[in-house]
A = this chain, B = another copy of it.
Amino acid sequence: MGSFWSYLTTKIPSCGVHLVIFNYEKLIALWLKDITCKGLQTSSTFSVATFAPNTPAQYELQFGVPMAGAILCSLNTSLDPPTLATTLQQLEAKIIFVDHQYIQSVSEAIKILSHEKTALASPCVVLINERNRTIVPSKTLDYEELLSSGKSDFNILHPNDECDPISINFTSGSTGKPKGAVYSHRSAYLNSLSVIFRYDIKKMPVFLWTVDMFRCNGWCFPWAVAALGGTNVCLREVTAKVIFNSIVIHKVTHLCGPPTILDKIASLKADEQRVIPTRVDVIVAGPLPSLEIISKVEKFGFDIHHGYGMTEVLGPMTDRSLTTSNPQENDKDIEIQKIRYREGTHNILTQDVDVKDPETMISVPSDGNTIGEIMFKGNIVMLGYFNNMEKTQKVFKGGWYMTGDLGVRNPNGDIEMKDRKLDSIITNGEIVSTIEIERVIRTHPFVKEVAVVGKPDNALGETPCAFVTLKGECTLTSCAIIKFCQEKSLPRNMIPRNVCFEVLPTNSTGKVLKFLLRQKAKTIGSILCGNGY
């Protein structure tokens, strides 16, 4: 921390040509065109990988790679060398830009690739160094050196068609193996405008990079911030201290990330606390932390926005403001994921979102009860999964992207997410939302985290099984949880038959890996609490 990169601020002038012109990038763009990689076909589109934290170089590459006519693949830096090798092979990446922090992993992946019997050449490796901290390994190019050898009169390579791919973003893999969602120039362009509308961002914002640029191209914020002539505050590592310092030093106006960012902010130590000059917008997407955390973050001076979306629709697609002090109608329990769809002006660039019966494709009635699948349609949806026609065909139907999320439509037109299709439980023929069970259990003062999955049952098909993490020194019995659910008037089929206490397995975005819990649930014996359960 505190290094040159961590606090470097890039100020981006913008103008109106395809996506955003960024003079500095021309150099990279030029170079990408001129380089002679073995197997590189300059006439056709090729893919270029990046493997870096949120540094200025990573930001620059969000522009430089597409402007060179190539497809940008910013990869999750938590990939291990074998997975990285497989991914690079699938992508047929011609180049990989690597931050010095990850050069070891990438070198190992390249070694694996070179041992494989493949017709494809390994990608060229370009090291993004920091104050010459790392010695440039042999066969590796240096980023800054390449930049300085660029020509300034390079003409940007525009896509032949606005529907041509601009990038590939891998899903977080909460339901299995990550899939590469392919974005078009058109969708990226429109979503960049969309985030500006959605969060009502004025010109010249100051954006703190707490959301990974390798997730949905940083929710399209690299392009949105440039379009508004804003300032980017790049961060190599995200901690509460760094967030508060950045806000005070750079007058940050916006930051984004998974809801774990709220936990981080709330975890600020008393001696690190600094007074925030003006309120800061923090935008999160995913399951929310506790009311206590939200309230704490709010009191620190943050306005919290909560979105619903996924990699396939370029990140969060909806926005609702959260406030604990003055809850909005229907937001009494702010942990329900409601998609404000008809109200407000959040989605003017999304063509359509609906809840439909996935078989008949008929919309569910707006009764707040009938469960269907949430679906998106329009410009801001991926083109499909990279090299995976089978899975692509599975998730698209009649132009609609089927999210795999179950939901209802409320009488006011709002859409409310109930559960992941894969996670929901069918007990005695009825669909039960695990999210609703979790919501009740989470209100127990001793409970820190909870995840509910289905456990196979000979008589009922499945029954709810809860995995619970308790706070600090707290202790609780399984039967106490079950009793709590009964007291909270959960319907009989929603009350867990089993409760396990343990730390929940999560992926890098903090999403609980329910498929692991489902496997575990199969092995758990039944309990008896003496109250009929």
Q: Which residues of A pack against B, CB within 8 Å?
A: 13-18, 20, 193, 196-197, 200, 202-203, 227-229, 341-345, 347-352, 378
A343 to chain B, nearest CB (A): 8
Asked if B352 contacts A17 (CB within 8 A), the reply is: yes
Q: A229-B344, A351-B16 are in contact. Are A202 and B203 (CB under 8 A)?
A: no
Q: Which B-chain residue is minimally distant from A352 (CB atoms)?
A: B17
Asked if A351 contacts B15 (CB within 8 A), the reply is: no
Asked if B345 contacts A227 (CB within 8 A), the reply is: yes
Q: Which B-chain residue is minimally distant from A353 (CB atoms)?
A: B16
In the complex the two chains form, what is the Cα distance from A344 to B13 in whole Å? 7
Q: Which B-chain residue is minimally distant from A21 (CB atoms)?
A: B342
Asked if B345 contacts A203 (CB within 8 A), the reply is: yes
Q: A193-B193, A348-B227 are in contact. Are A15 and B202 (CB under 8 A)?
A: no
Q: Which B-chain residue is minimally distant from A343 (CB atoms)?
A: B13
In the complex the two chains form, what is the Cα distance from A349 to B227 in whole Å? 10
Asked if B228 contacts A17 (CB within 8 A), the reply is: no
Asked if B203 contacts A200 (CB within 8 A), the reply is: yes
Asked if A14 contacts B228 (CB within 8 A), the reply is: no
Which residues in B have their C-beta under 8 angstroms from that of A350? Answer: 16
Which residues in B have their C-beta under 8 angstroms from that of A15? Answer: 341-342, 347-348
In the complex the two chains form, what is the Cα distance from A202 to B13 in whole Å? 22
Which residues in B have their C-beta under 8 angstroms from that of A345? Answer: 14, 203, 227-229
In the complex the two chains form, what is the Cα distance from A236 to B171 in whole Å? 55
Which residues in B have their C-beta under 8 angstroms from that of A14? Answer: 345, 348
A433 to chain B, nearest CB (A): 26
Most chain B CB inside 10 Å of its own CB: which residue of A16, A18, A349: A16
Q: A228-B345, A229-B344, A345-B227 are in contact. Are A352 and B16 (CB under 8 A)?
A: yes
Those 9 A-B pairs whose CB atoms lie nearest each other, nearest first: A16-B347, A16-B350, A229-B345, A16-B348, A227-B348, A200-B203, A14-B345, A203-B345, A15-B342
Q: Which B-chain residue is minimally distant from A158 (CB atoms)?
A: B351
Which residues in B have their C-beta under 8 angstroms from that of A196? Answer: 197
In the complex the two chains form, what is the Cα distance from A217 to B140 in whole Å? 57
In the complex the two chains form, what is the Cα distance from A351 to B343 in whole Å? 32
Q: Which B-chain residue is minimally distant from A349 (CB atoms)?
A: B16
Which residues in B have their C-beta under 8 angstroms from that of A13? Answer: 342-343
In the complex the two chains form, what is the Cα distance from A227 to B348 in whole Å? 7
A23 to chain B, nearest CB (A): 10
Partner of A351, one of B17, B20, B341, B351: B17
In the complex the two chains form, what is the Cα distance from A350 to B202 in whole Å? 19
Which residues in B have their C-beta under 8 angstroms from that of A342? Answer: 13, 15
In the complex the two chains form, what is the Cα distance from A523 to B228 in whole Å? 54
A293 to chain B, nearest CB (A): 28
Asked if B344 contacts A18 (CB within 8 A), the reply is: no
Which residues in B have their C-beta under 8 angstroms from that of A200? Answer: 202-203
Which residues in B have their C-beta under 8 angstroms from that of A344? Answer: 229
A307 to chain B, nearest CB (A): 15
A254 to chain B, nearest CB (A): 15
Which residues in B have their C-beta under 8 angstroms from that of A378? Answer: 16
